[in-house]
A and B are shown apart, each in its own frame.
Chain A
């Protein structure tokens, strides 16, 4: 057995037994000739692998902020009441196991949960009751699960729509001609395609680096590990136009000379697996995948789908590569680009789902057409997922340069106050910035917009975000692992109402240290929102904290400090009576 097979092997055990038993670990460790603790280390890194027996139905309830504002607490209580189980514990119930999980990409249909990876959306306590009853009555889970399709709420006028226009399989591949790699690459470059996962690195530069690499083996990896809370645009693409994404990968393979591709699909989107496999089969049948593709000699390319196992950080390209290789998903140190030293040391291109889809549209429609849409820096359109306090949550394909105001109007936002751009690691904006435009020149956006109205507690939002980073940090470097914990404690302190303006200053200073010294993007961006919110919503924070000068009193919460003791003594007194 190869190490690269580790995650899929673990999935086999997880699916078969509901957990990964000791003898499975022994077996794997023996086959890979590694110590058992190493396998243990990989298993415990991924949220969806269990080391203790679970019930027949594993229920993962999303605890993102959107879910919290839509009744998470009630749904959680309802699940516990109906199943008799407790969340996040192994209580030996043969039927059910309950776990909280980070965003599952259904923010437009919250509260939502995955039961054995089938989606259940728009949950209410009544609905929970009926689901559990049906499951107890052996009803097939497929038949009661919801359709995860998210609504495409908006596309620009027909001629300006790029992604969600008519799609015919193989349309972009027609442009592939023997030895025209350079021309295709030039087109990608001309349309200024940049990584749509949120890093906005030039795609042409990345592909060119891989093309130029002397490495004998090259890999194309599609990053479908869309973990940023509030984001579900990649899911929409994979669900509606899986072929478009695959064509993008084929084009990339043709340009760079790669023979192998992977789609790293997050386990939360397991329900898309079948569809993707079918699409790949269709492509193979049509001769678009496999050997001598399109009749071009020695143009061989195949795509394999690998399933993640619940780790946000694996969306970072080097962490994703580690994960594919069968290791803990810890991002690598920034010494090489993956195009120099990637998957198994080979030259590797990792791109987001949307980037590949856009690439195939660029090739299909031509850069001249694409360049008529968008702004000077950002060409074409962008897929945005909008969730939160809007009447029309869902997918929006917008022309670059659309303003926040327009989006709020389109999505029918109610009393918008706090808007989170690009998820927790992005930035927040207040109502003085609604005129800002989504494009590289102004406000860059990875794909998620969460709208919160003025009745939502900003502290609750920030608490949810810091808790998320605290859990999802890979734990390999100090500033991110410890820093997120420290910031989370700080938020809890503000929540308890014993903060002064000095605490807010500290949030900014400490966040800066994390930005400055963390090993990868997760740690570098984790404190961003917090630091921005302190400045942008100072009206809100000024009501929460006491302003203090150099010589201010330290606030000490005596009530909280003696609470435990009083409780113990009172209980003792009651027991003695």
Chain B
């Protein structure tokens, strides 16, 4: 085969003529993120994450077969942001509840989220109600997590050559549907292969989802610098005035607070440089002084949450959303795809323990009103920083807080990124 030379971010590289750009870039040490590209498949160009500039024009990288003299840009500021933006679109379009997903840690989309550094999405989440189809013989198809990359459509065929999956509908209702008849022909191994080629947790094989435990999964990287260094805190002790912190949990589970406490004895050292104002940790109910930083766990599901959040905005210089619920609604937002009336009816009127006619939907002027959906904090007030995770690791939280308080530069390292 003929070798050709091409330019990759200004560097001259060589590859076999006609090689797919994604593969050739890998051979030359440049990683181009992609979700729909899959080894020998014909280029699909459906996810668009691999968008690059070819001779100055944007093209999906996976559709390029290399020719002599091509000039390709991969990592310009604009392209990096475009890639991030497209991934964010995927996160808001589907309902990606990483903390409750079987594929978490093995999910390629999640990994690219870490890779591109998505802490929060620039777009509001759409929360469209989608189908979870458990009717097939061996697999479950969860439309909430599908990114319509088409890998399964192209790749999963029965022995006699029939497709198992196909797109149905169009526009914003496009979805991947299963042919039950053909699916039943798949062997256990073929079904597992379908699960593997799905870049998210959309295709799962019944009974096989937890065969690899959390912690041992492909993208389960441990946090860097396990121990919280005391010296680093004491360095700041020279500051005359202690910095003040406030914390609260809105529609959250207090898990993020538990995580904060996880720094154990480090907390005592920390108290030498900071003091807590309004916080469940001190049990101070109302702000007594203006604070430097406010940590918010959980999103807003009722009017009380909104009030507290607005109060925090008023009394804190910097507000930080801690954890998935605070950032985009998280687990409580699972209800966002269901109309409020149905939720309340199910919880209070038609639940296992309710007696017909004996229970009502609670309401009183003293109890807060439930909002039509769970809102992320940055939809309600301005939020300055976001710490992803469910919960974020203790060191991670304090690393961020410390650096903000003492105005040091800090960027979250890839291994510290977690959505689960």
Contact = CB atoms under 8 A, between A and B. Distances in A.
A, B: real partners: yes
Given A37-B165, A40-B168, A565 B369 contact: yes
A576 B379 CA distance: 36
B122 interface: yes
A333 B59 CA distance: 10
Contacts of B238: none
Nearest to A51: B168
Nearest to B372: A564
Given A565-B340, A572-B360, A478 B47 contact: yes
Given A328-B170, A561-B372, A569-B363, A519 B45 contact: yes
Contact of A516 (B46, B82, B147, B375): B82
Contact of A486 (B46, B92, B169, B171): B92
B261 interface: no
A41 B167 contact: yes
Nearest to B179: A37
Nearest to B348: A572
Contact of B126 (A34, A328, A485, A553): A485
A566 B369 CA distance: 8
Contacts of A489: 124, 126
Contacts of B340: 564-565, 568
A562 interface: yes
Interface string B108-151: 00000000000000111010000000000000000000011010
B46 A44 contact: no
A517 B372 contact: no
Contacts of A472: 170-171
A562 B150 contact: no
A558 interface: yes
A392 B207 CA distance: 68
Given A41-B167, A482-B90, A517-B58, A333 B148 contact: no
Interface in B83-98: 85-86, 89-90, 92-93
A35 interface: yes
Interface in A103-148: none
A455 interface: no
Contacts of B381: 553-554, 556
Contacts of A37: 163-166, 168, 177-179, 182
A35 B182 contact: yes
Interface string A541-577: 0000000000111101010111111101100100010
A45 B60 contact: no
Interface string A476-517: 111101111110010000000000000000100010010011
A378 interface: no
A518 B49 CA distance: 10
A530 to B, nearest CB: 15
Q: Is the interface of A mostly helix, strand, loop or mixed?
A: helix
A474 interface: yes
Contact of A576 (B43, B90, B178, B360): B360
Nearest to A563: B372
A518 B82 CA distance: 11
A479 B89 contact: yes
Contacts of A41: 166-168, 177
B19 interface: no
A478 B178 contact: no
Given A34-B163, A486-B89, A556 B306 contact: yes
Contacts of B86: 478-479, 513, 517
A35 B157 CA distance: 10
Given A475-B148, A517-B82, A551 B170 contact: no
B382 interface: yes
Contacts of B147: 478
A554 B383 CA distance: 10
B370 A565 contact: yes
Contacts of B177: 37, 40-41
A38 interface: yes
A477 B363 CA distance: 45
A40 B51 CA distance: 31
Contacts of B168: 37, 40-41, 44-45
A36 B179 CA distance: 7
Interface in A338-377: none
B148 A334 contact: no
Nearest to B87: A478
A475 B167 contact: yes
B59 A561 contact: no
11 contacts: A33-B161, A37-B168, A37-B177, A37-B178, A44-B170, A333-B45, A471-B170, A475-B170, A478-B46, A553-B382, A572-B361
Interface of A: 33-38, 40-41, 44-45, 311, 313, 328, 330, 333-335, 470-479, 481-486, 489, 506, 510, 513, 516-519, 551-554, 556, 558, 560-566, 568-569, 572, 576
Given A475-B148, A475-B167, A476-B46, 20 more contacts: A37-B166, A37-B182, A38-B179, A40-B168, A40-B177, A41-B166, A328-B170, A471-B172, A472-B171, A473-B170, A474-B171, A475-B171, A477-B46, A478-B48, A478-B49, A483-B89, A554-B379, A565-B372, A568-B361, A572-B363
